[in-house]
Structures are given as C-alpha cells and as structure tokens.
Structure 1
C-alpha cells in the first residue's frame, strides 16, 4: 500500500491542486522532524504548513494561537473539511475543557489549538505528555519578541512547555511580518535547532495601496463615507487609533445607512463577540475597530481595509492591511493620513507602559518605536511607489514602479524646490533665534502672512520671513515641510504639541554645502490619479491567479449570485460564516468551470472530498439548473 503524499492530502482534504510557494518545502521539513521558522505574508497559506503534517504524522499537533477568535475560525474551517480539531481557551466552560482533554487522551484529535497561557496548565501538560506531541506549531510567532509589533510575555514561556515534554517535538514558528531582529528573537526564544528558515516575498499582488491626505476631520469623514458607500455590498475593515474614534466613525457610517459595527477593548466581552459574529456572518458589512481586532481573523472575503488613522509602524500597517483579499481576489488598502495623526501616535507611544521591562529596556524599546513611527510617516508622505516602500522596509528588493498604487497611478511634476525649501528652513531658524518654537501650522501661517491673533501676539509678523510665500498653497508648504523632516534638515519634536526645529544638517543646507549643494527636487501632483480609485486594483495580467468575479462573463456573474445565495442558505442552516462553506475564489472557479458531475466538482479549487460529499448535490443542482 503506497504511502499517501502531502500533495494527495492537499487535494483530498483541502481541495487544492498545487502548493503555494514554500509550502511543500516547509511541510517536508516538518515531516522529517526538522524545526522551521517561516515568515510568510497573510494569505500565503501558513496554516496548511502545519495542518498537513498534523494529518500525516499521526498523534497530536499542538498549535499555539494568541486569540480565541483565531482558534474558533481555524477549528470551524477544519471541521468543515472533515479534520478532527478542537481548541482550549478561557471561553470554554469546565466541562468543555474536560471533554477536549478526554478527546486528546483518547487520540481522537489531530490538532488542538491552545492559548499560550494554557500551556501553564498542569493537567494539559500531563495529557499532552501522555499522548505524545508530534508537532508544536507557534502561530503569530512575532508575539514572542519584544521588538515585534505585538509582544506578549506569555509567548516566552512556550519553551518551558517544550522542555517539560518527555520527547521534544519539531517546532514550527510562523508569522506574517518579522524583521531580521524579530526573526533572531523567535529562533532564540524557542530554542530552534538548525531550523529551516523561509522568508517568503512580502508582496501581495492582489492588493492595491493608496494614501489620501484629507484636510481636517470633516474632509476625512467625507472621504471614508464616499469610499464605503461605493463598496456597500462588500466587506471591509476600518481601523482607528482610539476607542473614541471607533465610536465616532462607526456612528458616522451608520448615520449614512451603511451596515457598520464596532470592536475595541472598552466593550464588554459579550458585545465584542456579538459584533464580531455580525461581521463574520456578513450581517454587518463594515467592522470599525482598534488594533484589538483582527489578528488571525480568517475571514476570506474582506475586500478592503481602511486606516482612518496612522498606524504606529509599517509592521502593524501591513499586517492589518493584509487582512484584505485573503482569498486571493482583488482588494484595496487605503490610508487616510493627516499630520494630526502623528501627534496622536506619539501620544500613544508616550503613554504606553511596560511593567515586564527594566527602565533601560523600556527606554530602548521606546526609541525603537519612535523610529518605526517615523518610517510609517515616510510611507504616508512619500510620492514614490507605495508597494516598493513597504517591500524595501522588510528588506526585499522591489521595482520602483508597480502600476498598482495611488502614487504610481498619479502624474507628478518634478520641480526644483530649493529656493522654497531655503525659505522654510530660514523661517524656522528666525523663530529659533528669538528663543521660541512653532509647529508646522504656525510656520505655514508665518510664511503665508497670516494675520491670525496668535501669530501677531507672538511677534511672528515682524520676522523677515513673514509673508514671503503668500502665493504658495498651504498644502504645498506642508508637503515641503514633511520632505525636509524626511531628509533630516528639520526635526519634529514629540509630545501633544510638536514643534519644528533645526537639525545638525540645517546649517550646511542653508549654506548649500555638500551634500546639500545639489537642487532639492520635489514631486508635486499634476492632477487627479490616472485611474479612478475604484480601479486601483492590479492589472488583470499581473494577477491571473487571483480569480475575480469581474473576469466572468455575464452568465457566470449571474451564476455567481445564485451560488452565493445558496452558500448563504447553507451557512445559516449550520450557523457558520459563509466562507466556511466555500470562499469567494472557489465560487468564482465553480462559475468558470461549471462542473456537472462530482468528479468534475473535485477539480474545482477548494473542493475536497468531504465538502464534495457534503455540498456537492446542492451546488451541482444550482449549476445544472442554470445551464438547462
């Protein structure tokens, strides 16, 4: 009897014809008993990397996962595919936990998902030790590093669990975003032994990136409402930096008749769970949330992610933005940036407290966080390719032009801004010479000759630079100030009311000394983007693997609606999210291939043997009826 292969398990259990990049290599290493450290972007298929070994190794695979919602999502999806899986977390009652432990002891489970705190439970350790752990998978492994974007001290105790087992299993650490320092932390904290290290491309070709810079809160709200209204039938997430902002933004969307709900740590556990379910089950199309929402949420049909405020780092931003388009279909990632967001972000960093660190460690981490925030601001203000900026931040080479972000789709003129830049720096210097300081808004007012009371009261109207740039638009001046901060000529202080100052390089810049003797070239917007925002999705030829409803003919699109309706009916009957039945990519493939028999149905991406048995008759019936 020939032994089953990973490719056969992939097809028969999960319904996929071929592995995605790196999956087969990681699975082979785990089956050979080797430790693995895998950094793969969201939607790259990390879970398959430990789920297939779990089914092939026999025994028990323990998956450490940080959030209850992640566990429930993974377990529910596995059970739909006929895999014996369960979870242990604080949401379970005593009897439910006892039942899971009994199933473990009886060898009835292939996978059990556990919160890291559960590894401290002596009873769990006893059962795991007695039945044997074939593989330990640590999901969201960046949580183990204090330099990561979501450090959790409980993750650093995972190694104690490993050492307490009678036989050390192979350990697989997986994460979507990790710099080299974080990867080193993960390997050290888990004591990985000569691991296979896989760092996949961070590029997500099906995601389009955009930054808009609304002037003021009212304009930002209008931009968000307009964006969401154009996509009212799609599922999206809106991230805000504070609970208060979540409440206001959610109310604003609901007032416009949009189906929005909210999620933040200030809500009761019951309301968070209810709102999350409304979003997962598509009863509410928009989730407005702080970063407390989303880690590990496997909702595959999120079509857009909007950041209403600036993230604290590119790691946070890319992880959150990556929750769009998990099924491979086209999706949009929009950042609504305003300089006031920087002040809010700095305030959040200043008030963060870390009781688990020494004073020296906390100071070092705060400095590290400030550097990461500066990189996030550079992303929000750059006129270069947004995708390239992200990929290079994570150490990956990238072309300078992607034709798939708002900057690449916008026409810019490159102008010599040297004279204007000298005027701006001179203004900041004149203010400093008087022993005063001013924020960017005040500097703009001085240069434009504002008669505002606060400008005159401070004597700024008597400066030699007062009014020397009356004809330059305020937005252009703000862009120039951001550029000068980015290039290290000006500094921006922290705190609630940040002010501009001169850097050590400012004197050389004013004197036009090397390396400041070349012209300072600045890109300025020529007009509207070459493509409308709704078409910022990637060019079709670049994402042929990302099946999309728009690629179907008219009959196919009509069939898609019928199959989506059937999927919804089946999901409601079972009380599960619709994407547990089939995700959007599978529905599109069904409409493209239009199978008529069970054998043909098994050739559709995402249809495994168990799902074909469970749902085949219903879907084939709808397909055949549409073609008769």
Structure 2
C-alpha cells in the first residue's frame, strides 16, 4: 500500500519521497488507525490526508476552519488533476445542493467543509448518504478548550463520526499543540495516544529575531524597502495600528493590503485576494488574518507588538517559508505593548482560571523577548521538547553586535524620574533631561531640578528612545491607560545604586532576505501571467522552491523538467513548454556572454 502512496506522490505532487512524519502518518491511516499528526507549519500535513484519499474508495471529508484555506487547497488539487470541492458560507444554497449531489455520486476524492456545518442535523443527514472512509480534522488544536483558538463547533466532530453509516478512519492534524492540547485531541477524536506522530516543531528554514528598536515604524519602512520584491505579513494588535502602518507603506509606494475585523467582508476579501495573487507584496493585519492561508512564498513575518501567547506567535510566524526556503520572523518588542495584550486578555477571558492561564502565557512571551539564549530552542521547549540544541541561525545565536555600557545615562534618567515624583510620562521626562524650555516644564518648576538639562547634548527623541529601551529591560515600569506614567522598578533601584550595570547593543541590521536572480524573476513573471489566466494564486502554479530548483537544474526538455522537485506529470504537460522556453533563452544568453568575455 505504501508503494502505491509513493507512486501517487510522484505522479501528482512531483516528489520522490515523503518528508519526515508524512510516511508514518500515511501508513497509520492506511492501516485503519485513528491518528494524530503534529508537525510544524509547512511540514506538509495536507499530503498526510490527500494521499490516503487517493487510495481509499469514496470521498474523504476534510474539516477545515477557514474559507480561504479551502479555496486554496481545492484550487491546488484541481491544478494537479485531483477532483475536490468545498462547502462553506461563500456558496449559495443551490451551489451547496449541487456539490452535495456530486459528492453522493462519488465525483470528488476530497470534500472540504467548515466545522459550523456540523451543527446542522439536516447537513449530517445528507453526509450519511455519502461513502466517507476517512475524516481529516485540520487545525485540530481548535477542538481543545486549552488551545489558543478554541472553536465550539469542533466538538460536533465526534457526533458526526458516530452517526456516519460506516465508521471512518480519523486523523487530527495541527502545527501548534502543547502536551495538554495533544491529550485533548486524542481524547475527543478517540485516538490512541500511541498513534500520535510528532516530527518536532523546529522549522529549519526560519530565523527568529527580537528587535527592541524604539522607532518601530522606521524599522518596518527600512525592512520593507529593502525586501520590496518579497511577500511578507506585518501583524499589529489593533485596527488603528493596521490602518496607520498600511497608509505609511502606501505612501512609500509599496503595494500593501490590509485586513482586520473593522473592514467590510468585501474589503477583507479584496485585500486577501490581492495578497494571495501577488498584487500586494505586504499584508498588514490583526491576528484575524492568516489561519489557513496556504500562500507558500511568504518570506517574512513581522510582529509589530508582542503576541498574547507562544502558540499564536509560532503559528503566525510560521506562515513564513512554507515552501522551505529561508525566511525571517521578527518580533518588535516594546514593554508598553504588554499593557495592550493584558487589556485584550482581560476583555476576552470568560473565567478567572482562564484569565490566570492566559496571563501566565503572556509572561512566557515576555520572558522569550528577554532571553540571551537561542530563540528557537526556547520555542521548542515551550512545546514540550527536552533540551533542544541551539539553532545557530536566530538573532541571539548570530548576535555579534557591539555592546556599549549605558549605566550612567540610565542613572540620569532614573534620578530625574524620582525627582519628578514618578508621576509623568516619557515625553516630559525627556524634555526635562534635555533642558527644554517648553511652558509645562517651567509651570511645574522642573527647570529648577538638579537633573534639568543633565542630558542637553541629546535630543528629546534620543532620550525617549533611551527610556523605551530601559522600559524593555525592566528598569522602568509603565502604567496602563490613555496617559501612561513611568516609575522606577526594583531593578531600576539596583541600577541607581550601582549594583547592576546596563549595556545596550547597536541596532539590529536589516538585510535582503533573497539575493537578486535574473532567471528567477523571469520565471516568477511567467508564473504570475499563467496564474492570472487560470484565475488562481501564483503559488498554486509552482512554489518559489520549485522555481529555484528550475534555476539550479536548468532543464532543457520535458523529461528533465519532470525531474525538478515539485513538478508532477499533470503540471509538466500543462506548463512545461512555457517555462522551458524562458530557461532556454536564459541559457543561450549566458553562453553568448561567456563567449564574449573570452
């Protein structure tokens, strides 16, 4: 049976062998075992249910939480010749009825449905008329009340499985699950814990960075400008910040889209579509965007603020580099942002137990932002891996920036705060230290303080940036509310007494993620043109990884083209000629230039 699975993998997907964990999961499912599959985003979970569906008689039911994921997956399956369909709220009743009738006739190998459909007894009755040998539960962490994205409709899945005419094999698949969530998945989907395949959570192509730059907007502008040809997501905590960042990027001439709950459904869909079709290179969004987005060529994810927990951070950051190519995940940390997440947690927590659990998870995110050790290793330990080695590629592992001692400057700031009574915000503190003659300073008689003008060689902006850094280091605390007030922490008092020294590193260097490649750009343009003709996202035609493989292998005929990783027979016949012509022209041009140089 596994031999046939490998054959299907090559024929339809263009791969010679399965990735880590895929083979074990498929073997378990084909042996009739309910199975849990825990592997990182981009690890190839969809293959784990798509291949078995081709080898089973009937239609595999895939329960998936988001409309965008269903559409992308069905588009991708259509592109390689596998009959599939989806049923969700984007369809009319007539369209749903038509697709269900086709499903009863066995037209589809896979039928994707939203979990909310299972709440309808009428819909369950219609499913009974289908031959369903296999039920795949995608984003299975949604079934756990302790997961970061619990969805009550997922609890109807066990009822569905029991009511189907023949008992199907069940697979629960997810990328982010703590040990507690894994237990819930197995219990609620009746999976023997021994049939859990976990490949580990490490994404070897991702590099993690924590930046404590005080001017976040400037950092983002420089980063996006340097990587404007690459696709990226910028996550912000509030709708207002999304709107402001989006407007700034547009003003820079960057093709950016935005997505948050305050937009109409039409506006959200238009923004998402622009991003998926590569008409917008950057998506600025709240965490309402992204779950189930199958876009494989996202090269970076930037978090404008600290997320509320590690599960959210790793899932969102993990949307970068799904094609396996090097990608970056950057968290812009500012201590003031902690109050925003704390407020959002307090607003959403339904019980005191839930509140305490979420606050604990937020603290673990804060700890992550302050560690000196490997960032990837911290993430892996959070998800239950024991003593993971340092990754050697994250911002901490590769950090060779110079440190400058700033203890004396910090003491000036803290001393000034104490003399001002610890009752004011950073702007006024900075104005006093800079020796500003603004009216408020004089009205409060702060110009008479011994700390007035103590840092007059610096601008107010430079001093506020220093205050932000001291806040991120836990030397200064900030109250919540519309007018935050600064106070000296216990650690700050130790700095004042000279018991603790402070050091500040130079700014995090921004570099280009992917170097320019003439052939790659030509192939990318061809892919975009074909995608527009087909009405599908470009990554559905070929991933960036497959285009890079073409650049490396330089195939000259159909047989060599078929040998490129990620190209199956169906796509070779459909697109091979268009790409081979571009490669041939490039090779001829290179040969001419080589001769001319000689």
Partner of 1:370: 359
Counterpart secondary structure, 1:133: coil
Matched length:
578
Q: CA deviation at 1:481?
A: 5.9
Partner of 1:357: none
Q: What are the residue-to-residue correspondences of 1:141-160 with 2, within 5 Å?
A: 141-160=140-159
Q: CA deviation at 1:389?
A: 2.5
Counterpart secondary structure, 2:234: strand
Give TM-score scaled by structure 1 length.
0.81
Partner of 2:23: 24
Counterpart secondary structure, 1:95: helix
Partner of 1:263: 259
Q: For each residue in 1:114-168, what CA deviation from the matched residue of structure 2 results, as whole angstroms up to 9, or x when unmatched? A: 1001123334323332322211111111111222111111112211111211232
Q: Report the CA distance shift for 1:459/1:398 in structure 2 as closer, same or farther (over 3 A).
A: farther
Partner of 1:76: 75
In the alignment, is residue 524 of structure 1 matched against residue 513 of structure 2? no
Counterpart secondary structure, 2:299: strand
Q: What are the residue-to-residue correspondences of 1:205-354 with 2, within 5 Å?
A: 205-215=204-214, 219-352=215-348, 354=350
* Separation in structure 2 between the aligned mates of residue 242 and residue 400 of structure 1, nearest angstrom: 34
Q: Report the CA distance shift for 1:474/1:122 in structure 2 as closer, same or farther (over 3 A).
A: closer
**Partners of 1:240 and 1:290 within 8 A in 2:** yes
**Partners of 2:138 and 2:173 within 8 A in 1:** yes
Unmatched runs of 5 consecutive residues or more in structure 1: 355-361, 513-518, 538-547, 551-556
In the alignment, is residue 398 of structure 1 matched against residue 391 of structure 2? no
Counterpart secondary structure, 2:511: helix
Counterpart secondary structure, 2:129: helix
Q: For each residue in 1:66-106, what CA deviation from the matched residue of structure 2 results, as whole angstroms up to 9, or x when unmatched? A: 11001001110011111111101010011210111011100
Unmatched runs of 5 consecutive residues or more in structure 2: 589-598
Q: CA deviation at 1:442?
A: 10
Q: What are the residue-to-residue correspondences of 1:554-569 with 2, within 5 Å?
A: 557-569=517-529
Counterpart secondary structure, 2:133: strand
Partner of 1:533: 510
Q: CA deviation at 1:506?
A: 12
* Separation in structure 2 between the aligned mates of residue 53 and residue 162 of structure 1, nearest angstrom: 18
* Separation in structure 2 between the aligned mates of residue 19 and residue 113 of structure 1, nearest angstrom: 23
Q: Report the CA distance shift for 1:454/1:317 in structure 2 as closer, same or farther (over 3 A).
A: farther
**Partners of 2:135 and 2:171 within 8 A in 1:** yes
Counterpart secondary structure, 1:8: helix
Q: CA deviation at 1:403?
A: 3.6
**593-602 vs 68-77, which deviates more?**
593-602
Q: CA deviation at 1:571?
A: 0.9
Q: For each residue in 1:564-610, what CA deviation from the matched residue of structure 2 results, as whole angstroms up to 9, or x when unmatched? A: 22212211111111111111111111121122222222211110111
* Separation in structure 2 between the aligned mates of residue 186 and residue 617 of structure 1, nearest angstrom: 46
Counterpart secondary structure, 1:306: strand
* Separation in structure 2 between the aligned mates of residue 380 and residue 3 of structure 1, nearest angstrom: 44
Q: CA deviation at 1:386?
A: 2.3
Q: What are the residue-to-residue correspondences of 1:43-192 with 2, within 5 Å?
A: 43-192=42-191
Of residues 571, 575, 588, the one that matches 1:611 is 571
Of residues 554, 572, 582, the one that matches 2:542 is 582
Counterpart secondary structure, 1:232: coil
* Separation in structure 1 between the aligned mates of residue 236 and residue 133 of structure 2, nearest angstrom: 41
* Separation in structure 1 between the aligned mates of residue 329 and residue 112 of structure 2, nearest angstrom: 30
